[in-house]
Amino acid sequence: MSKIIDAELVRHIGKLSRISLSDAEVAALGEQIGAMVEYFDKLQQLDTNAVEPMAHAVELTNVLAPDEPGQSLSPAEALANSPQHDENFFKVPKVLGADS
């Protein structure tokens, strides 16, 4: 088990995650989580004052087509492949009810 992460903390994390862990899993996860924390501690020692903050590791460009108005579907076309509909509306199963 890692010096930083003890079995009690691993079991607490498992409880918060709503997963049950065997003793072997607690030991293995303790080592793995401890190794991650130690690595994060190493990263904290780096001087990042000259590094510009970024939102993503690689530069992204928008590859979408421009948003331009176009021809809309008629209600009949939109409902053509619908398994169930009522006049101009799609019929879907109820998702909110007494047991939610």
In angstroms, how far is CA 52 from the centroid of its own chain?
26
Q: Which amino acid is at 34?
A: G
Tens place of pLDDT per residue across the chain (100 aa): 667 799 999 999 999 999 999 999 999 999 999 999 999 999 999 999 998 888 888 888 888 888 899 999 999 999 999 999 898 899 998 888 766 5
Helices 7-16 and 23-44: crossing angle in degrees, nearest 10, is 100
DSSP assignment letter at 50: T
Closest by alpha carbon to 26, among 39, 38, 37, 15? 15
| Per-residue confidence (pLDDT) for residue 64, from 0 to 100 | 87
Residues 6+ apart with CB under 8 A from 7: 1, 26, 27, 30
| Per-residue confidence (pLDDT) for residue 98, from 0 to 100 | 65
Mapping DSSP to helix (H, G, I), strand (E, B) and coil, where does residue 28 land? Answer: helix
